[in-house]
Structure 1
Amino acid sequence: MIPAVVMSVVMALLGAVVGVCVRKLTARLSGADPWPGACEVACAVGGTLAVMATWPSTTALALLMWWCVCCSGVDVLVQRLPNVLTLGGGLAVVTIGACAGHGRAAAVGAAMLTAVMLTAHLLFPRSLGAGDVKLAIGLGGAAGVAGAQAWMIALLLPPLLTAVVGSVVLLYRRIGRVSSGGRSTGSTVVPHGPSMCVATVLAVLSAG
């Protein structure tokens, strides 16, 4: 059996390599360049966490986190989530869950989270985009496999994370206006997708 330390190093290096591909894919889908090294570092950390977590499948957990890095990167750069990521990722998550013997849990988790997000989108379309609804398919499926507690975290934590980030961004904008003599420094737009991804990854890790 490979020692955990060695496996962690291997997965970190593999994650960094995957991060290069994620960066290129993110740039292609968004039409903008991610921050230098951000995707590589995030994917390397994801690979390490996948080994450290007591999860049945290290590979599946790493793939989930690498997918989340790509989705979050695109959403941060252009405030939208393309179907190839959301729908394609959702199908992959449910399929992998079914192959691992958790098809029902993945399908139910995906359906329930998507239903909640769709309702929120219909009620508050300016606060929650259609891309977030489609992102919920994959995230809900992963959380569903992790269990009811993980699913609840994936549901309840994202709004709190987005609110915190929004408050920080708003404070930064206000400081910028003061330093620029009252001139506006840009609009405050906080994508919700990254919060959904972070919350789900934390939920899955805690359940593992």
Structure 2
Amino acid sequence: MLRVVAGETVGELAMVVLGVGVGAIVRVVAGRTAGRRPLPGSCEAACAAAALVAVSITTGAAVVGAAMFGWWCVCLSTVDLLVRRLPNVLTLGGAGTILGVAAATGHGRAAFAGALLLAAPLLITHLAVPRSVGAGDVKLALGLGAVTGLAGPLAVLLGALLPPVLTAGAALFLRLRETRRGGVRAAPRVLPHGPSMCAAAALAVIATG
């Protein structure tokens, strides 16, 4: 029993260390993509946390896939927070990779269905009211939808419903904090939607996994 516990602890520590190393790479990539430097240590901490969650909720080869998904989300969210933009190389590149791996492992139908179900409503909204939903969010939904599709219909539903709630909650929190500090803004702060989409997809997969 002690050997098993020790082995699990070593594995978790190894993943955390790996996450810190990947986070350093993510920080460089996100910084160059955005043209601005992320907060020092932020990507490392986020990637280490993603690795720890991955090793805690999955086993075997699935740990690597879950960790890579988390690292991808960290990179996307960092760029979106810095410049309010989601580059095609990250959104479409990630979606293509996820869908390709899913198809190669025999789960292509579920992944493609999830991608379609999550991205289609956003695409329709973007075409009808372009300022309400960015094109980058639509492209991001393809990859996130594929991942939630692999977890099941409930995960796809949660991945669609949670992002507006998370974004609105973050905006309200910031507004209240500014009010307490005595700050006054002429207009509400517009927050990037990508981080909420990534967080919602991750929570949906964890909750239904």
Q: Is the 8 A contact 1:106 1:141 kept in 2?
A: yes
Q: Is the 8 A contact 2:38 2:78 kept in 1?
A: yes
Residue equivalent to 2:191:
190
Matched, 1:107 2:112: yes
User: Shift of the alpha carbon at 1:50?
Assistant: 0.6
Residue equivalent to 1:42:
46
User: Shift of the alpha carbon at 1:9?
Assistant: 0.9
Q: Which amino acid aligns with 2:55?
A: V
Partners of 1:21 and 1:34 in 2: CA distance = 12
Q: Is the 8 A contact 1:83 1:131 kept in 2?
A: yes
Structure 2 unaligned segments of length 5 or more: list them. Answer: none
Q: Which one of 134, 138, 141 corresponds to residue 133 of structure 1?
A: 138
Q: Which amino acid aligns with 1:194?
A: P
Provide the secondary structure at the position in 1 that maps to 2:50.
helix
Q: Report the aligned-residue RMSD.
A: 1.9
Q: Is the 8 A contact 1:75 1:81 kept in 2?
A: yes
CA 156–186 in structure 1, closer or farther in 2 if over 3 Å, else same: closer
**1:129-179 residue CA offsets vs partner (Å, 9 max, x unmatched):** 110000001000000001111111101000100010111222334445x35
User: Shift of the alpha carbon at 1:120?
Assistant: 2.2
Q: Which one of 167, 175, 179 corresponds to residue 172 of structure 2?
A: 167
User: Shift of the alpha carbon at 1:19?
Assistant: 0.2
Residue equivalent to 1:200:
201
Provide the secondary structure at the position in 2 that maps to 1:126.
coil
Partners of 1:167 and 1:100 in 2: CA distance = 42
Q: Which one of 8, 25, 30 corresponds to residue 26 of structure 1?
A: 30
Residue equivalent to 1:145:
150
CA 55–163 in structure 1, closer or farther in 2 if over 3 Å, else same: farther
Partners of 2:117 and 2:107 in 1: CA distance = 16
Partners of 1:10 and 1:69 in 2: CA distance = 19
User: Shift of the alpha carbon at 1:186?
Assistant: 7.9
Q: Which amino acid aligns with 1:44?
A: A
Partners of 1:65 and 1:113 in 2: CA distance = 19
Structure 1 unaligned segments of length 5 or more: list them. Answer: none
Matched, 1:15 2:16: no
Q: Which amino acid aligns with 2:120?
A: A
Provide the secondary structure at the position in 2 that maps to 1:3.
helix
Partners of 1:143 and 1:133 in 2: CA distance = 15
Share of identical aligned residues, percent? 47
Q: Which one of 72, 78, 84 corresponds to residue 83 of structure 2?
A: 78
Partners of 1:123 and 1:4 in 2: CA distance = 50
User: Shift of the alpha carbon at 1:124?
Assistant: 3.4
